[in-house]
């Protein structure tokens, strides 16, 4: 049986933004439309809104996946939608970068008052590198914020996106009357009866009609007509091909917490967003329609259920059909494995899945066999590209605070490092362990999880390093010379690869000049 109809039904996307732009609220409302949850607010703890350290720990305890990407699937209008809600906090950016390798498109959420923020710039840059199609959702229109045109300029300038507004706000904050939908040529006005209830939507298809004044008043009607004239003359009209190639980004305005503008976003998204795309492997291009199954691990999460001490490997299916209890080849280990209880995620619930198709994300229970980037196939040797580990920016020595629990510490560290929470380096000259992360909050998360999940305690010592660079070279003699002459700056990562620990930008430059035939890499994928 052909799997093409199943592929055509799937849309897999990530939601990315700066913290507090309303990403989780938007995810929650999308799930509400799909019937995946009964009332908004069921997806998350409200504590996620405050980015205090204690809240992350609390959330870690309550949900297990709040500081990491959560995966949710639901059905809407006969389509299967897979959402990957990523952490916005920059300290968890690496998890987000890897998640973006598993999606086919992205929705970028921007706060109307704050505009484009630094973390959004970094995440959009990753999407741009991959030519991932992006839709922009400008959120919180029920609050006072920047002018619509200023926001579009901000997006074009800071994010380097060519924008195409598909909806436009009527007023903002206290004056917010609704949104004109340029895609469907209709005006949606809303009277919120309360934040979680359905809104009344009045449709007016012609903005020249006097009905407009009746509903929004003369001043707002005149302002909207003027704005729409500028929008239609200044910005390009929507071109789906340009969007799919990542060259054009549709923009929607709304208020996720008031459930306004979300349905328009979702309806347009399912119409224009790409179905599962082909994926590059080192060997060849893998297309979704192929008969044989293939997929890659983009995330591992330990102890999702603390009672069972389980690890789950998240696998993005790239081609063919995944079937439960079937033998598949673990390419890196060269051995066949069978999965008796693969999991599909529906909001906070997990369910056993019998089969899955390209675009789907399945969770495989893992006893330590998987690493991020591993490939599963029906026998072919494939290695999917583009799942890097980034060079950490913060470093600390890690010490065992309880010598009786050395085994637990080693086990906990190795599992958390496999999960991609941090990177662990071992110094060549004295064997000391160094943790490297992309954000300071990670150190506290690791300390907390080691204690609560593995019964191990650790403390840190400060370490001032500029960069950790992975080393490769064709010139064995020069490579060995570097290893022996700069032994105090050399460490190995968890896979035994050599890493140069540069104390400063100057020290790195000196090493590059002194050993010109050694390559210094800033990601572990080279």
Average pLDDT, the chain: 80
Tell me: the pLDDT tens digits for 198-222? 445 666 666 666 767 776 777 777 8
Cα distance from N-terminal residue to C-terminal residue, the chain = 39
Mean pLDDT of 272-283: 89
Dig out the tokens for 25 from the structure: 């609220």
Which of helix, strand or coil describes residue 253? Answer: strand
The Cα 503–Cα 465 span in angstroms is: 4
The Cα 519–Cα 498 span in angstroms is: 11
Q: 526 in a domain, yes or no?
A: no
Residues 225 and 291 in one domain: no
- CATH code, domain with 364: 3.40.50.300
What's the angle, vertex CA 160, arms to CA 116 and CA 170, rounded to 5?
A: 50
pLDDT at 453: 81
The Cα 196–Cα 218 span in angstroms is: 30
Q: 159 in a domain, yes or no?
A: yes
Residues 212 and 124 in one domain: yes
Number of helices (H), then strands (E), in the chain: 14, 31
**What CA–CA distances, in Å, run from 291 to 45, 208, 319, 434, 449?**
41, 54, 7, 45, 41
The Cα 330–Cα 242 span in angstroms is: 37
In the predicted structure, residue 133 carries a pLDDT above the cut 90: yes
Helix (H) or strand (E) holding 148: helix 148-159
Mean pLDDT of 248-264: 86
pLDDT at 482: 92
In the predicted structure, residue 37 carries a pLDDT above the cut 70: no
Q: 224 in a domain, yes or no?
A: yes
pLDDT at 173: 75
Last residue of a domain, one of 220, 241, 272: 272
pLDDT-based confidence at 498, cuts 50/70/90? very high
pLDDT at 119: 75
pLDDT-based confidence at 387, cuts 50/70/90? low
Higher pLDDT, 191 or 11: 11
Identify the CA nearest to 58 among candidates 514, 445, 395, 473. Answer: 445
Residues 239 and 363 in one domain: no
pLDDT at 118: 78
**Backbone φ, ψ for residue 267 (5° rounding):** -65, -40
| Residue pair 203/188 in contact by the 8 Å Cβ criterion | yes
This prediction has a pTM of 0.76
pLDDT at 171: 76
Residues 414 and 343 in one domain: no
Residues 418 and 497 in one domain: yes
Task: Count how many domains the chain has.
Answer: 3
Identify the CA nearest to 45 among candidates 69, 26, 29, 61. Answer: 61
- CATH code, domain with 423: 3.30.70.3280
Torsion of CA 62, 66, 72, 77, to 10 degrees: 100
Which of helix, strand or coil describes residue 319? Answer: strand
Residues 300 and 329 in one domain: yes
**What DSSP state is assigned to residue 51?**
-
Residues 59 and 139 in one domain: yes
Residues 258 and 305 in one domain: no
pLDDT at 53: 30
Q: 291 in a domain, yes or no?
A: yes
Q: 388 in a domain, yes or no?
A: no
In the predicted structure, residue 55 carries a pLDDT above the cut 50: no
* Alpha carbon of residue 209 to chain centroid: 43
Residues 228 and 353 in one domain: no
Most confident region among 339-343, 370-374, 437-441, 488-492 by mean pLDDT: 488-492
Ramachandran quadrant class, 259 (left: phi over 0; alpha: psi -120 to 50; beta: rest): left
Q: In sequence order, which ranges of 328-466 are alpha helices (DSSP H)?
A: 406-418, 441-454
Tell me: the pLDDT tens digits for 85-127? 766 455 455 667 777 888 999 999 998 888 888 778 878 887 8
pLDDT at 306: 52
Residue numbers of the domain that contains 261: 4-272
Residues 298 and 263 in one domain: no
Torsion of CA 376, 379, 385, 389, to 10 degrees: 40
User: Is residue 38 packed enough to be buried (19+ CB in 10 Å), middle (13-18) or exposed (0-12)?
Assistant: exposed
The Cα 388–Cα 237 span in angstroms is: 36
In the predicted structure, residue 307 carries a pLDDT above the cut 60: no
Q: 185 in a domain, yes or no?
A: yes
pLDDT at 62: 45
**What CA–CA distances, in Å, run from 159 to 110, 123, 140, 249?**
11, 10, 20, 11
Lowest mean pLDDT among 248-257, 332-341, 365-374: 365-374
**Backbone φ, ψ for residue 108 (5° rounding):** -100, 120
Mean pLDDT of 393-415: 90
Residue with structure tokens 């599962």? 276
Residues 289 and 434 in one domain: no
Identify the CA nearest to 46 among candidates 58, 34, 30, 64. Answer: 58
**Backbone φ, ψ for residue 436 (5° rounding):** -120, 135
Strand-pair category, 10-17 with 79-85 = parallel
Helix (H) or strand (E) holding 272: helix 262-272
Residues 284 and 254 in one domain: no
Mean pLDDT of 498-505: 92
Last residue of a domain, one of 272, 292, 314: 272
The Cα 296–Cα 390 span in angstroms is: 18
Query: Residues near 239 by Cβ (< 8 Å), separated by ≥ 6?
Result: 164, 248
Dig out the tokens for 158 from the structure: 């800071």
Tell me: the pLDDT tens digits for 142-197? 788 888 889 999 999 998 899 999 888 887 777 777 788 887 777 777 665 444 34
Last residue of a domain, one of 377, 407, 422: 377
Q: 117 in a domain, yes or no?
A: yes
Q: 368 in a domain, yes or no?
A: yes
Which of helix, strand or coil describes residue 439? Answer: coil
Most confident region among 3-7, 204-208, 510-514 by mean pLDDT: 510-514
């Amino acid at each position: 049986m052909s799997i093409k109809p199943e592929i055509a039904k799937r849309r897999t996307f990530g939601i990315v933004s700066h913290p507090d732009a309303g990403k989780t609220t938007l995810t929650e409302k999308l799930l509400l439309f799909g019937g995946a949850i009964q009332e908004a607010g069921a997806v998350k703890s409200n504590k996620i809104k405050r980015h205090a350290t204690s809240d992350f720990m609390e959330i870690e305890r309550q949900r297990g996946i709040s500081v990491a990407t959560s995966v949710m699937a639901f059905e809407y209008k006969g389509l299967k939608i897979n959402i990957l809600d990523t952490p916005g906090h920059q300290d968890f950016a690496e998890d987000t970068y890897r998640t973006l390798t598993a999606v086919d498109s992205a929705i970028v959420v921007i706060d109307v008052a704050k505009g484009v923020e630094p973390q959004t710039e970094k995440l959009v840059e990753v999407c741009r590198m991959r030519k991932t199609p992006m839709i922009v959702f400008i959120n919180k229109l029920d609050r006072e914020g920047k002018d619509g045109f200023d926001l579009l300029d901000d997006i074009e300038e800071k994010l380097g996106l060519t924008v195409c507004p598909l909806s436009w706000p009527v007023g903002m904050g206290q004056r917010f009357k609704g949104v004109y939908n340029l895609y469907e040529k209709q005006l949606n006005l809303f009277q919120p009866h309360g934040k979680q209830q359905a809104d009344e939507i009045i449709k007016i298809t012609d903005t020249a009609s006097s009905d407009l004044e009746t509903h929004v008043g003369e001043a707002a009607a005149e302002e909207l007509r003027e704005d729409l004239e500028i929008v239609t003359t200044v910005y390009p009209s929507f071109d789906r091909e340009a969007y799919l190639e990542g060259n054009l980004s549709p923009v929607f305005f709304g208020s996720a917490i008031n459930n306004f503008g979300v349905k328009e976003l979702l309806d347009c998204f399912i119409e224009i967003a790409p179905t599962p795309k082909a994926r590059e492997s080192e060997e060849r291009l893998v297309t979704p329609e192929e008969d044989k199954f293939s997929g890659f691990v983009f995330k591992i999460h330990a102890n999702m259920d603390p009672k069972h001490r389980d690890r789950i490997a998240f696998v993005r299916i790239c081609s063919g059909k995944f079937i439960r209890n079937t033998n598949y080849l673990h390419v890196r280990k060269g051995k066949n494995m069978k999965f008796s209880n693969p999991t599909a995620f529906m909001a906070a619930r997990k369910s056993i899945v019998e089969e899955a198709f390209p675009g789907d994300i399945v969770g495989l229970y893992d006893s330590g066999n998987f690493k991020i980037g591993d490939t599963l196939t029906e026998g072919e040797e494939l290695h999917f590209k583009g799942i890097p580990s980034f060079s950490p920016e913060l470093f600390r020595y890690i010490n065992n605070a309880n010598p009786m629990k050395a085994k637990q510490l080693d086990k906990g560290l190795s599992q958390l490092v496999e999960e991609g929470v941090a990177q662990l380096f071992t110094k060549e000259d004295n064997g000391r362990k160094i943790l490297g992360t992309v954000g300071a909050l990670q150190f506290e998360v690791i300390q907390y999880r080691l204690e609560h999940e593995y019964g191990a305690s650790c403390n840190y010592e400060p370490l001032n390093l500029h960069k950790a660079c992975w080393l490769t070279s064709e010139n064995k003699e020069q490579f060995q010379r570097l290893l022996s002459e700069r032994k105090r700056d050399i460490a190995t990562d968890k896979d035994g690869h050599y890493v140069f620990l540069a104390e400063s930008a100057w020290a790195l430059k000196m090493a590059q000049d002194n050993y010109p035939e050694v390559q210094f890499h800033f990601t572990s994928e080279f």
